[in-house]
Amino acid sequence: MTIRVLLADDQALVRLGLRALLENEPGIEVVGDVGDGLAAVSAALRTRPDVILMDVRMPGIDGIEASRRIVGALAETRIIVLTTFEIDEYIFDALRVGASGFLLKDTRPAELLDAIRQVVAGGALLSPSVTRRVVKTFVDQPARVAKPHPRWSSLTEREQEISGLVSEGLSNDEIADRLVISPATVRTHVGRAMVKLGARDRAQLVVFAIQSGA
């Protein structure tokens, strides 16, 4: 399978470097590169890439709004946000709208390539514990008002409980041990919670759970 990647960054030199790296990697095809958020949305709808490497600070619309529009239209496309800072206010918003995770722009090439393959395979780019740290950093700020997910109350008590344990960084096996249930049962509850909340992956489930007070 060839992984189709779209590059979105307002710095031409960054796009050139990413293209040079990816085009030399077997099994990866760069389907385009753009320098602003509106162009990213247009290119994504046209090329339907598997992965988008998305900068945040871009002209037109920023990478967060571009991600929101793309996620709403392309359920299978995964977005990896590129950032200069490890903990950045934009990271929380990117995870909230459905990005699969983030990478620093100085990430080693091998790690970037591995991340692309990981999100295409359905894996979480960020561990739940790292996601929780990012989300808590911003949800706990006095200037931010936590907004519970509007469908949080539709979850059963058990689904809310398990979603809260996911947000603490526990794996399915660890949750199963704690609640004395089978890992398969945990997977079922996690899956149902994600469907009810519209979460694309466990990272977004963590965001919704913490915002909802789990």
Mean pLDDT of 67-85: 89
User: 0.85 cut: is pTM over it?
Assistant: no
Tokens 């991340």 appear where? 115
Tokens 């030199």 appear where? 13
Sheet with 101-104, strands from edge to edge, namely 28-34, 3-8, 51-55, 78-83, 101-104
What does the mean pLDDT of the chain come to?
A: 87
Share of the chain above pLDDT 90, in %: 54
**pLDDT band, residue 94 (cuts 50/70/90):** confident
Mean pLDDT of 162-188: 91
Is the backbone of residue 36 left (phi > 0), alpha (psi -120 to 50) or beta? beta
Mean pLDDT of 70-92: 82
pLDDT tens-digit map of 109-124: 998 999 899 888 876 6
In this predicted structure, the answer to whether residue 75 has a pLDDT above a threshold of 90 is: no
- Amino acid identity, position 74: L
Per-residue pLDDT at 132: 65
Per-residue pLDDT at 124: 63
Q: Judge whether 70 and 44 are in contact, CB under 8 Å.
A: yes
Per-residue pLDDT at 83: 82
Per-residue pLDDT at 214: 75
- Phi and psi of 166, rounded to 5°? -60, -40
Per-residue pLDDT at 118: 86
Mean pLDDT of 69-74: 92
Q: Which residues pair with 86 in a beta bridge?
A: none
Per-residue pLDDT at 202: 82
Going by C-beta distance under 8 Å and a sequence separation of 6 or more, which residues neighbour residue 195?
none
Q: Which of helix, strand or coil describes residue 60? A: coil
In this predicted structure, the answer to whether residue 127 has a pLDDT above a threshold of 60 is: no
In this predicted structure, the answer to whether residue 144 has a pLDDT above a threshold of 80 is: no
DSSP state of 146: P
Q: Which of helix, strand or coil describes residue 89? A: helix
Q: Which of 50-54, 195-199, 206-210 is predicted most confidently?
A: 50-54
Q: Which residues pair with 103 in a beta bridge?
A: 82
Burial class (CB in 10 A: 0-12, 13-18, 19+), 2: exposed
Q: Distance between CA atoms of 66 and 36, rounded to whole angstroms?
A: 9
Mean pLDDT of 24-47: 96
